[in-house]
Amino acid sequence: MTHYDLIVVGGGVSGLTLANRAAYRGQLSILVLEKETRLGGCVHTWQAQPDYWLELGAHTAYNSYKNLLQILQERHGLEEIIPRRRLGYRFLDGGRLQSALGRIDWLELFGRLPFGLLRSKQGLSLADYYSALFGPRNYARMLAPAFAAVLSQPADAFPAQWLFRRKSRMREVPRRYAWDGGLQRMIEALVANAPFEVATGMPVTAIRRQRDGFEVMAGGEMLVCRHLALATPPDAAARLLLDSLPHVAARLSRIPMAEIESLAVVVPAARVRLPELAGIIGVEDDFYSVVSRDPLPHPRLRGFTFHFRPQRLDSAAKLARVCAVLGIAPDDILGVHETVNRLPALTVEHVDQVAELDETLRDSTLYLTGNYFQGLSLGDCADRSTREAYRLLKTHHRHHRKEAHHG
């Protein structure tokens, strides 16, 4: 059996951030296991043509992702970032594009806004908080579809306190940016010359709790570690912990998941009738959003990723909807790529569930991270992983002090 100080299950931003932070000063032996043959998780870059790529998962990074940016700076991973142009989103309602301003009921807004500005978000859903702040009609017409587009799922029950949180920024980085070659280049930077091992195509099939750590069965091999971090979706973590830590698995299994069917197309720029835009918000449509590649312009091509509501349309019907929205013929499409993304469907009740879960893990050598602790963004994932890595290092150093004392 191969022994490690830490095994991280999951090679997305959450797992790679935790591994990088735990590898501080190279004092721990660390292995990252990823079941897929690629790293990245919800980062999914499609190289459509040699000089053109599209994102089918996360689309944009921001300079508020400070914990993630600090690691990338250490790994020289900020040298290839490129700023994104600031373009607006439009609403698509009944076949007509509208700006956000065109959907506002101004009388309702001015009657509500002054009285809600000091209201706390604590314990309120997006629907509760913003309906009171902007009015129920404004929420239904503008904010509900916009929030669903941002989160790629129905968002009414999402905790209001987890959206638009104030965060410190790395000012020397553009406010919004990408990498030359796509966000997959960011993932590559997180593992370039990193002081830990990475194994892809290694699904974990079993975890057993031992007195001094964990046994992890992966790829037909038994691995042993003192510390174990799960950077997987909560339902996957629940399945892995069902036998060894059933009380933790039970809490994780209560977190519902949402599926998003994403389809990206590349078309000649001259064939698209839409003006340049950041994206489209669907209003009672088959898709939550369309995210455009226009903020990273190309002289000949335009690209669009449609995030469809699950189990509504087959591939042919999705392409027909794409053509209708873009005003193109099927023969205009130069390339198509599809994937299914999965995200936690978080509600107000989940805030207390996270607090209970953290209390359960406080003195444990099990570490949980991912996009189900305080938000769905890459920055939220990196923030959670950084905190868990610091908890791990404190636990590890405390254990070593005890061993030295008894020795």
What are the pLDDT digits (tens) for 130-167?
Answer: 999 999 999 999 999 999 999 999 999 999 999 888 88
Q: Compute and round to an integer the Cα radius of gyration of the chain.
A: 22
> Rounded to whole angstroms, how far apart are CA atoms 14 and 107?
44
CA 158 to chain centre: 15
**Measured on CA atoms in the order 276, 335, 38, 180, is the torsion positive or negative?**
negative
* Opening angle at CA 321, ends 315 and 322, nearest 5: 90
Which of 129, 101, 127, 100 lies closest to 115 in space, CA to CA? 129
The pair phi, psi for residue 123, each rounded to 5°, is 75, 5
Confidence of residue 43 (pLDDT cuts 50, 70, 90): very high
What does the pLDDT average to over 333-337? 98
In the chain, the domains with their CATH numbers are: 2-43+65-80+183-256+345-406 (3.50.50.60), 103-162 (no CATH)
pLDDT tens-digit profile of 51-72?
Answer: 999 999 999 899 999 999 999 9
Burial class (CB in 10 A: 0-12, 13-18, 19+), 210: exposed
What pLDDT does 303 receive?
A: 98
Residues 10-34 pLDDT 10s: 999 999 999 999 997 778 999 999 9
Per-residue pLDDT of 378-406, as tens digits, reads 999 999 999 999 999 998 887 666 655 55
